Structure 1
Amino acid sequence: MINKYAFTSFISQLNAIIPGERLLIDEPMSRHTTFAVGGPADVLVLPHTVQELAVAIRSAKELLLPLTVLGGGSNVLVLDGGIRGVVIQLNELNKVLQCDGLLLRASSGLMLGDVCAFAQQNGLAGIEFACGIPGTLGGAVFMNAGAYDGEMSKIVSRVQAINDAGIVHTYDAAELEFSYRHSRFQLTQEVIVEVELALTADDKAAIAERIDVLMSRRRSKQPLEMHSAGSTFKRPAGHFAGTLIEQTGLKGFSVGDAQVSTKHAGFVVNMGHASAEDILNLIREVQKRVQSAHGVCLEPEVRVIGESRK
């Protein structure tokens, strides 16, 4: 139960700088996540500027309100009871997208596909692996997202982030503490606002061809047409999660309207009317059966946030 006085004070403070259409009370998170599930956020803030973002973070912290920050709403499962306190989503931040030689600067709220397209148009290579990853640039850095032998840690050279006092700090690559699906920001909870990528020069047509090949592979093997949060499980050492799940006979297995994808067993999809509880129960059942069959513990890549329905 959040402090109602603190919540009212927060809304009052934010109303002074953010219009009501970007300050949404009791907003269903199913409208803002790629799984298309999730109960209401007490308040969802959609900042357009770094200043608005800084004020929202600082106000929430000063008033001791719980704070959750999301990028594009991918790679998360918001539970059916919703999220208490303040939720800030970054995909409406004013967009910075420019290059200076081999360096590309971009706002964290930009979708990865848009950053990849801009890089290709400017003859910059190295980020092609990320073109089909659902989500924002900031979210990809936060999770150190990767695919097809590429990883954000290989191309990120600098990151700007805001701490809970609303102060912006710049980190060089060596300070980002990247490891498999991990960055420093998972521990510090600083909010990424801008990213610099160090890329390489290449022929625009050659880059476009590599993107087309990777996207064709994705479309043929992954359920991109379905509501999902991307790859559901981290890759266990020495194995592939999707292969283990398929070998356990779980391809197509469902709980309610949540299903292990028939196209790629490493993805859990919402067939249309799944609840977050359906998805969570399916994930747990997959974990249990794979552990029993292969002795391997599958760790979810998807972040579970919020509360269960009471």
Structure 2
Amino acid sequence: MDEIYTKLDVLKVGKVRLNEPLAKHTTLRVGGPADLFVEPDSIDSLVNTMDVIKQYNLKWRAIGKGSNLLISDEGIRGVVIKLARGINHMELDGNRLLVGAGYPMVPLATILGKKGLSGFEFAGGIPGSVGGAVYMNAGAHGSDMSQVLSRARILSPNGELKWLSLEELAYSYRTSVLQSQQGICVEAEFELTSGDAKVISENLQAFKDYRHSTQPYDSKCCGSVFRNPLPNHAGKLIEDAGLKGYRLGGAQVSPLHGNFIVNADHARAQDVLDLIQFVKRSIKEKYNIDLHTEVEIIS
């Protein structure tokens, strides 16, 4: 990796580090190192990084704020690309929003609300970035990305930038085509509606208050761990099974919400994985319902 590090450093693509601890880059604060870590400072730098990855036939992985990730204690082999400050541009043209994949969702929802633009209120409590939200069709409060997104610009592994329409993204519950075919969302376009800034801000605050009162918002966690096995809800099943507060090692089912696992005391990724498996077995035995993870597990 030293040769690749030097090449990327010469290209001045942004921050480049060897053996970067990924616990620093996930909201759970667990995970081993990346062989090579790159935080591009622009879309052009991202394209140049992908060119080098392709040239050396390296494994790679893109991350954002790390809010929906569980990375193993062994870390990730190859290159980890973090989309953050260098790809966080925002342009408004009437009700049309063009925004970089590295833009965090919560501040974006707040800014749009103050401008009297509606449609993004659901995102006011989602602790991720735009790219990750596009990738997994993030949602809350009865809405999701598919309700406001018009298209997304994707960088393919061969270095080609192209726009995918909403239909081409093939959205369903917490799923998109990007989970089955490799590509990095670099920016997204949204169609919003005009509204009353005061009403939008009040709705945003109500959603935030609800999250703060019902979820471990300020704890080290990855967000919802399990997909809801509709018409049931994972959190309710886990609570009814008496598992709220259950702990393995440093990982704990949140006492506040059953569908959250928190890093209660210097947890390892393996602690979280073991707790996930324990919860899945318990719910299967008690209700004969299979829980499937919403959090993306990288091992």
Shorter-normalised TM-score: what interval? over 0.9
Deviations 1:58-80 (A, max 9, x none): 21122121101101111000110
Structure 1: 5+ residue runs without aligned partners? Answer: 1-6
Query: Equivalents in 2 of 1:77, 1:252: separation in Å?
Result: 20
1:155 has 2:148 as partner: yes
Q: Which residue of 2 aligns with 1:139?
A: 132
Paired residues for 1:223-234 under 5 Å: 223-234=216-227
State the partner residue of 2:120: 127
Report the CA distance between 1:158 and its aligned residue.
1.3
Distance in 2 between the 1:94 and 1:160 partners? 12
Instruction: Write the deviation string for residues 119-173 of structure 1: whole angstroms up to 9, x where unpaired.
Output: 1122100110111011101101100011110110010001111111222101222
Matches within 5 A, 1:1-310: 7-18=1-12, 22-306=15-299
Q: CA deviation at 1:207?
A: 0.4
The answer to whether the 8 A contact 2:154-2:186 is kept is yes
Cα distance in structure 2, aligned partners of 1:15 and 1:103 = 36
SS at match of 1:129: helix
Partner of 1:3: none
Counterpart-to-counterpart distance in 2, 1:9 and 1:115:
38
Deviations, residues 177-213 of structure 1 (Å, cap 9, x unaligned): 1111111111221100111111110011010000011
Mapped to 2, the partners of 1:53 and 1:103 lie a distance apart of: 25
Contact 2:110–2:204 (CA under 8 A) maintained in structure 1: no
Distance 1:213 1:12 in 2: 49
Structure 2 equivalent of residue 4 of structure 1: none
- Inter-partner Cα distance in structure 2 for 1:189 and 1:210: 36
| Contact 1:106–1:115 (Cα < 8 Å) also in 2 | no
Quote the RMSD (CA, aligned, Å): 1.2
2: distance between equivalents of 1:288 and 1:295? 9
Letter matched to residue 123 of structure 1: G
1:52 and 1:293 map into 2 onto residues whose CA distance is: 51
Deviation at 1:112, TM superposition (A): 0.2
- The 3-state SS of whatever aligns with 2:52 is helix
Letter in 1 for 2:37: L
Structure 2: tracts of 5 or more residues without a match: none
Q: Distance in 1 between matches of 2:128 and 2:83?
A: 11
Aligned residues: 299
Paired-residue identity, %: 38
